[in-house]
Amino acid sequence: MGAGHTHDLHVPGDSIVHRTAPEAKLVAAFVFVLAVAVTPRREVWAFAGYAVLAVVWVVASGIGPRRTITRLAVILPFITFAFFLPFIGGGDTTDVAGFELSTEGLWGTWNVLTKAVLGATTSIVLASTTPVPEIVRGLERLRMPRLVTGIISFMFRYLGVITAELGRMRTAMIARGHDPRWLWQAKPIASSAGAMFVRSYERGERVHAAMLARGFRGTMPTFDDRRAEPTDWLRAALIPALAVSLALGGLLT
């Protein structure tokens, strides 16, 4: 539980996005994603504008296009079903490379892909430029209940602890000559998962008792009281304001 509690998604830097207050970035990301979500799928020009804004956001953050594209791969399993929509959709059909595909299905695929990529890119920029503790503080300053922010904070802290524990258990299994790779070898994995659950639960109880002994009363101490200044809100509002303009244009046309 020591050493900073950073997460692998954060990319250290000193860009203008890194320097912006976390609560301003959270609001900006939410407004941008909301604008993308409400835009009608047939307004291609609006999505082209969103793509330009997303590229500007990535460039301003300094995280680099290669890292962004690599991290976008995480959404592939969740949008795989979108590629089947042209084959199973009804209504009018369109000939594409000799295949009769549903026109509504094609629009559905376009809708899922564009909105998922834009939303994921926004999340990547936010996570890459804002450590988890700052995100939690930003949520608290936006008046999110302390109970919710406490759960989020401890979830990320224990995620790293449990991942490290699983790695040690797997190393111990391999050292004893067992390296399961097939379905019929799943029993040791199930047993390890059960042991992992018990050990995590017991460790959580010990940590909670230790925190109570040190004066914990439901809130984590804050060592950075810097709040968003007007310049932070102005910087963060630029791209969402343009996105809202595009969304209004798409809805009105």
Q: How far apart are CA 86 and CA 107, in angstroms?
A: 8
Long-range contacts, stretch 224-232, CB < 8 angstroms, 24+ apart: 224/134, 224/137, 226/21, 227/21, 227/23, 227/141, 228/21, 228/23, 228/24, 228/141, 229/21, 232/20, 232/21, 232/24
pLDDT of residue 60: 93
If pLDDT is split at 50, 70 and 90, which confidence band does 85 have? confident
9-18, 177-186, 193-202: range with lowest mean pLDDT = 177-186
Model confidence at 185, pLDDT cuts 50, 70, 90, reads low
Cα atoms in the 13 Å half-sphere on the side-chain side of 169:
19
Q: Is the pLDDT of residue 184 over 90?
A: no
Q: For the whole model, what pTM was predicted?
A: 0.79
| 134 in Cβ contact with 22 (< 8 Å) | yes
CA angle 42, 44, 46 (to 5 degrees): 110
Question: How crowded is residue 21: how many other Cβ atoms within 10 Å of its Cβ?
Answer: 22
As to burial, measured by CB atoms within 10 angstroms (0-12 exposed, 13-18 middle, 19+ buried), residue 230 is exposed
Q: What is the mean pLDDT of residues 84-100?
A: 79
Dist. CA 71–CA 251, nearest whole Å: 31
pLDDT, tens digit, for every residue of 94-118? 877 777 888 888 899 999 999 999 9
CA dist., res. 212 & res. 206, Å (int): 10
Instruction: Find out whether 242 and 35 touch, Cβ atoms under 8 Å.
Output: no
**Comparing C-alpha atoms, which of 24, 15, 18 is closest to residue 238?**
24
Length of the chain as a residue count: 253
Q: Locate 8 and state its tokens.
A: 């692998």
- pLDDT tens profile 119-169: 999 999 999 999 888 888 889 888 888 888 888 888 877 777 777 777 777
Distance (Å, whole) CA 133 – CA 6: 8
Domain boundaries, the chain: 3-139+226-252, 145-213
Mean pLDDT estimate for the chain:
84
